[in-house]
Structure 1
């Protein structure tokens, strides 16, 4: 077995006083918590991939939707939450608990807190698995869970952070190895992201409204969403890579200096890039450009980390062929490199114009989730399991089979989505010589890509089979062995050699951080032109400071970063500064957007009571997973959907509904486009009005009833977050609801359709007829239902 020690050769940071007596101690690590999280990760991984296969089938074959609880709109958020927070979440906790104890040569300070963390996290996952299919959702990507669960996440994360930083405080190895840097960045940044994005006004037990609306909500959400990928799916997994890859290869990390550049550049640049999810939307152009520029810059540090990992395997390729965990690690790094090249590419406005809202984005996300996260998890599990249960892996051949089956599955999935996405993007924009759309009906694109949906299903199923093979292999390994807790013999080191405080305060990195932080602070208080100057100054100072640091370092010296690595608190503070600098700067545009919204408020009107109820039904059914409400400023979009969306269109939407994928057409200008009868038939049987549609049917909307007694509370909650409802609107909500419902019922009755005025169908129709209509909606047309969609 490889010795339990850091995999990097490093000079001594602390001096030993020969007069001080040394003391030997034996540490027994708490590996039970790592075993628990490993087992949970495997179980939830299989569940998450199974749900993924189901939703892939639902897109290819609509009868697989089972209303009301098992439709695509309700299961898709369950799939993403299961994979991200259940599978990858449990995996990173297993890796952090296991590796950090060994890196700091100390056992966990509190086994009780570790158990609270484990069982609390599993309870949160179960709560998600129950509430999401029931339709309780905040409708925010990767943050769908309702407010009580959000509070639970915060509390459990605090428990995790306390145990982690307490462990660092008790360390006997003072040096903070590179993996711990990434763990620190993960813990502090995820806390900030989750709290800021989850701010909402509770209405009932499992119902709330985001305090942000429209473009503000879009900016905050994708600041969170992009950086959830960065600091939950990337930085902790990079920390795991820096520990487990050298351990498995029995080689030191290729470059210590490259790991420093990789870490600081990544956490500083990543946090700025969120607006690249909102390119070519109603967001101000300069905010979009900011996100695009930093996204392109992100390519360099990302590839620096990938190359550092792959070069660590230099000279160990023969071992890669024989050890399954190294196969998974090497391939995971390759997928990381591919995904982090594709991400900046997709962040270029011209490329985004083609790719956004298409399946290309789905392929990009899954290349990272399946290839990077999934294979890193498999490599770590195959390395850890024999050491946690004290016996060799049950079957290396089975692990190799998992590798090849999983790799083929990923490739089939990603290629299918690339082909599907590019096909969609080209068909949507295709025009003939007269400028008319070649494919005016959205469903034509759906028919063209359906074979790719079946190919995706095959690829996803193969990946699921690989996960099941891994689960079986690890279970047999655990059953044949017995739990083993690692131990380490340590020597209590002498006191640390004194370092003058001036050497820290006036050292180059502190000066550079002060200059960069000062420039960012001034940016926030100045106008646009001055802000550009200070942004350039900050970037220049950061680059020059880095060059000075590298130029002045000499063999045998104690570089500034060595000093920083010996002080966990100082390191954490600098990490927080680096992260918040970009985070605050990215959110500043929301203040400008608020002023813009105020100027446009005369165009917009809040939803009427019945429309608000219908919107809540729309959100409950997960319609936002397939439909966008953001018409981009392109001629082909205007011809298909209507005039481009503006900030005022969505300023009273809490949360925003711009969408991130179009499996169905955009709905931003849907109001008044079709008669009420069309919407009624479309909900009962989408194929009756749009042949070949893959949308689920919602017959339950006719029999389900709206609880009008709750409408007033919803309107009042909306008012509390800035929607301009009057007291008359609040107290008269029920009456206005009845009045608007009666008009829709009367119109349907003229078409010989009998529907209750308090049915959810009527409320949803009211909402759909309002979309894109600022003034009071005109009476809908009553002509015969058209088959065009």
Structure 2
């Protein structure tokens, strides 16, 4: 196997800023680490799809929620984490380790660090598989794992980064190929995203509160959440595409110039797009507008990458019909194009008003995850495993079957969610001639879309069957051969570096053009909508005109600015970090600064949760209720008619983390407090269908028998105070007594309805929280002594 991959437009290397003497050297690659990650990815992928199939069954058939630890609310985050970090994560590491060594003509820098990385990552996955079903979660999308596991992720990611950059430092091939650019962007950006979003204050070994709250947490969370999709599920897979697709097709990448534009535009623009998950919410309009505009701009670089991938296959289409590897790659890149068309479309405010909180978003996400990530993984595995074991693929026929049943499964899944989502959105907003809601009961929408839930389950099961078939095929392939490490005699250029004018790099024309365009984009914050459109257009003209001029003035006898940059990994990494950080800083820092308010004034607008209510909120989070319910009433008449007045920033100011939600399988809860009596909530949690016929909500009868330790209340209030919630020292000291007092009031009310309840049960605590949501009662005076006292304002609850 040739150690040098088929590169795109390698003419830029002829103008390299180095003098070279040629030597020949034999390199043996460390492919054991790639083999481990491949089979870990396949195994965890099957687990992830099994969890997804069970979750889909539970939505269609509520009786499938058999055990509390495997109820939908606890299973859903397990499914997403397994799919993203276990399946795609292991696949990404396999591809990065395999391709990087060959691209830089150097074996892996440290075998030990590679092994620590592998076993450390599997340990993190196992920890997630244990803690999430047990209810230990931070309730942050794609970042549910608690703080000790977050620290472990940071440590293991650092090991990965050190090994990767150490390998780059030892490289014999000085020019960095495009795949390596995307790997660099992935490593540095994921590190920044994870560290910022994971900032929290621990309460105990497996409990913490996010340092961000309310709208600030919403912005930080979706800055992370959207860019986890961008820099964990997209950029590394694009790097894999740029290496493995040309190798499989035995053709060069279509356009080197397009790959440059694709990379820099993507890493700069993507980071700004997170707020499009929060359109029409209480988030400030400026942040929503930025999120929408940059999401629309993503169309260009995303489709540039897709076209670069598909056009690489030109001249090889006859082989695509025969080769299952190329089938998977071609379909995967096509699904990438579909997902990156649909994403900006959903980022338009009017489209988002229909699609947000519906199953349409679920279909969109799975189109990318199953189609783009899943098919690229399959293509890479079918190409790699025979080479890793020195043999041929066991069954091309089985791989073909996998492709077709996987494709049918994805399409059934996406179509079911499109139909379901649009049906939900239309039914929620439907009104009669008098302006009244035509479907006032939320359950009516669930009944209407239930057939689509069964269709989704069928499609997902087909995809799962394909994954199992692939696992069998790869296992038989490995058994038929023996593990071999790639070995190649490569031409190594022993280079004597010429003097390079650093000013030409740091202040080169591309940097100047980017700076001017950036200034124009920042000016958008200080103008009106017409000015915004004009500045956006002007920034685009500057960017494209600059690229055109640079192309015209390019000289064949001198290296281009980017060719020089490609030979300097450190500088390339620094510029990548700057490009990524600009968007994050521009969006998050103003939200934190502008969000600072006087605590006492804010307290008057919205009192913090009482001790028992905070305990109940923790139970709500533990059971995963946030996966099905939102707490954000948008400024639409059909929402205010159904749920109450529009949500404000003050409503969620003390929520750490925020609970605006991302999906409504159940109704919004933002104004739930006081809407129903305590007995209704009790019956609803034990047997949802007794008060809401047709509901698919699981029973939470087990909460009647699980206990809250009031002694922990003070430490929780103390932790909340450390992140800015204005609890007084007296309130913290009196927290256990206040919790007992409020629980006694709820128990007394339930007893009047003939229900005997234990005041320390989690069901009492969650009732207190549900009765508090959306209300702003004055805080009670602290008890005078250690014993609970009667508080006169309890009737307000």
TM-score range, shorter chain: over 0.9
Residues 583 and 17 from structure 1, CA distance in 2 versus in 1: closer, same or farther, beyond 3 angstroms?
closer
Q: C-alpha distance in 1, partners of 2:778/2:18?
A: 80
Cα distance in 2 between the residues matched to 1:536 and 1:395: 53
Cα displacement (A) at 1:495: 1.6
After the TM superposition, which residues 345-494 of structure 1 pair with which residues of structure 2 at under 5 Å, given as runs?
345-493=345-493, 494=495
Contact 1:672 1:780 in 2 (8 A): no
Is 2:673 the partner of 1:675? no
Give, in angstroms, the shift of residue 497 of structure 1: 3.5
- Determine whether 1:689 maps to 2:691: yes
Query: 1:15 deviation in Å?
Result: 6.8
Please name the residue that 2:784 is paired with.
Answer: none
Report the counterpart of residue 664 of structure 1 in structure 2. 666
Distance 1:171 1:3, change over 3 A: closer
Q: CA deviation at 1:97?
A: 0.3
Q: Which residue of 2 aligns with 1:586?
A: 587
Q: How many Å separate the matches in 1 of 2:296 and 2:603?
A: 35
* Contact in 2 for aligned 1:67/1:698 (Cα 8 Å): no
**Kept in 1: contact 2:710–2:740 (CA 8 A):** no
State the shift of 1:549 in Å: 2.0
1:101 aligned residue: 101
Inter-partner Cα distance in structure 2 for 1:136 and 1:603: 31
**CA displacement 1:611-649 (0-9 Å, x = unmatched):** 000000000000000000001010000010000100000
Q: Which moved more, 1:497-506 or 1:703-712?
A: 497-506
The equivalent residue for 1:298 is: 298
Which residue, out of 639, 642, 648, partners 2:641? 639
TM-score by length of 1: 0.95
**Matched position secondary structure for 1:158:** helix
Q: Any idea what SS the aligned residue of 2:463 has?
A: helix
TM-score by structure 2 length? 0.95
Can you list the C-alpha shifts for 1:293-351, whole angstroms capped at 9, x where unaligned?
A: 11001011000000010011111001101110100000001110000000000000000
- Residue in structure 2 matched with residue 655 of structure 1 by the alignment: 657
Whether the 8 Å CA contact 1:210–1:655 is kept in 2: the answer is yes
Q: 1:397 and 1:228 mapped to 2: Cα distance?
A: 35
Report the aligned-residue RMSD: 2.2
Cα distance in structure 2, aligned partners of 1:544 and 1:289: 25
**Which residue pairs with 2:615 in the alignment?**
613
Does structure 1 retain, via aligned residues, the 8 Å contact 2:16–2:564? no
How far apart, in 2, do the equivalents of 1:445 and 1:781 lie? 33
- The match for 2:63 is 63
Partner Cα separation in structure 1 for residue 530 and residue 659 of structure 2: 33
2:715 is matched with which residue: 713, 716, 727?
713
User: Where does the alignment leave 5 or more consecutive residues of structure 2 unmatched?
Assistant: 780-792
User: How many residues are aligned here?
Assistant: 779
Indicate how the Cα distance of structure 1 residues 632 and 523 shifts in structure 2: closer, same or farther if over 3 A, else same.
closer
Residue 572 of structure 1 corresponds to 573
Task: Give the Å deviation of 1:512.
Answer: 3.2
Output one character per residue of 1:21-41: Cα deviation in whole Å (capped at 9) or x when no partner.
x43210000000000000100
What CA deviation, in whole Å up to 9, does each residue of 1:37-65 have, x standing for no partner?
00100000000000000000000000111
Q: What is the match of residue 510 of structure 1? A: 511
CA distance in 2, matches of 1:107, 1:545: 39
Task: Determine if contact 1:674/1:781 at 8 Å carries over to the other structure.
Answer: no
Q: Provide closer, same or farther for how the CA distance between residues 127 and 45 of structure 1 changes in structure 2, counting only shifts above 3 A.
A: same
1:79 aligns with 2:76: no
Q: Secondary structure at the match of 1:602?
A: helix
Aligned to 1:787: none
Displacement of 1:556: 4.4
Q: Give the match for residue 139 of structure 1.
A: 139
- Residue ranges of structure 1 left out of the alignment (5+ in a row): 783-789
Output the CA distance in 1 between the equivalents of 2:323 and 2:607: 63
Distance 1:597 1:683 in 2: 38
Shift of 1:541: 4.8
Equivalent residue, structure 2, for 1:168? 168
1:242 correspondence with 2:221: no
Residues 527 and 717 of structure 1: CA distance in aligned 2, closer, same or farther (over 3 Å): farther
Query: Aligned partners of 1:510, 1:345: CA distance in 2, in Å?
Result: 30
CA distance in structure 1 between the aligned counterparts of 2:598 and 2:474, rounded to whole angstroms = 55
2:284 is aligned to 284
Range that drifts further, 148-157 or 773-782: 773-782
Contact map agreement 2:7 2:177 (CA 8 A) in 1: no
- Please give the secondary structure, in 1, of the residue aligned with 2:282: coil
For the residue of structure 1 that corresponds to 2:321, the secondary structure is helix
Q: CA deviation at 1:68?
A: 1.6
Question: Is the Cα contact below 8 Å between 2:643 and 2:671 reproduced in 1?
Answer: yes
Cα deviation, 1:212-244, whole Å, max 9, x if unaligned, reads 000000000000000000000000000000000
CA distance in 2 between partners of 1:334 and 1:582 (Å): 28
User: Do the aligned partners of 1:48 and 1:87 also contact (CA within 8 Å) in 2?
Assistant: yes
* Correspondences of 1:180-199 after superposition (within 5 Å): 180-199=180-199
Q: What is the CA–CA distance in structure 1 between the aligned matches of 2:586 and 2:18, rounded to whole Å?
A: 45
CA drift at 1:536: 7.8
SS of equivalent to 1:661? coil
Q: Secondary structure at the match of 2:208?
A: strand
Q: Which residue of 2 aligns with 1:558?
A: 559
TM-superposed deviation, 1:738: 1.1
Aligned-residue offset at 1:603:
1.1
